[in-house]
Amino acid sequence: MNNIQLIEYKCDMHHYPIMDNVCNYKQFTVHEDLIVPEGKPDIEDLLEVRAYPHIDVCKSIDTPFGKKFIIIGNITQKILYVANVSCQSVHFFHASRPFCTFLEIPHHKSICSTEFSEHAQCHPEIMVEYLCAHKVGDREVAKCLILVVWFSKHAHHSPDSHCHPPYPPIPHDYHMHCGGSITNCSTCQYSSTCVLAKKKEG
In a shared domain, residues 62 and 77 = yes
What is the rounded CA–CA span in Å between residue 123 and residue 184?
47
Mean pLDDT of 59-83: 90
Band (121; pLDDT cuts 50, 70, 90): low
The answer to whether residues 43 and 138 touch, using CB atoms and an 8 Å cutoff, is yes
Instruction: Confirm whether 196 is domain-assigned.
Output: yes
Instruction: Confirm whether 144 is domain-assigned.
Output: yes
In a shared domain, residues 135 and 175 = no
pLDDT digits (tens, 9 = 90+) for 74-86: 999 999 998 888 8
pLDDT at residue number 158: 46
Considering its fold, how many domains does the chain have in total?
2
- Residues above pLDDT 90, as percent of the chain: 35
In a shared domain, residues 19 and 83 = yes
**Range in 41-45, 144-148, 173-177 the model is least confident about:** 173-177
In a shared domain, residues 115 and 191 = no
In a shared domain, residues 199 and 139 = no
Please enumerate in sequence order all residues whose Cβ is within 8 A of that of 197, keeping only pairs 6 or more positions apart, or say none.
Answer: 174, 185, 190, 191
In this predicted model, which residue has the larger pLDDT, 46 or 155?
46
φ, ψ at 80 (rounded to 5°)? -115, 130
Q: Which domain holds residue 12?
A: 6-164
Instruction: Confirm whether 1 is domain-assigned.
Output: no
What is the rounded CA–CA span in Å between residue 185 and residue 91?
14
The upper half-sphere exposure of residue 49, i.e. CA atoms within 13 Å in the direction of its Cβ, equals 29
What is the rounded CA–CA span in Å between residue 150 and residue 27?
9
By three-state DSSP, how is residue 194 classified? coil
In a shared domain, residues 187 and 146 = no
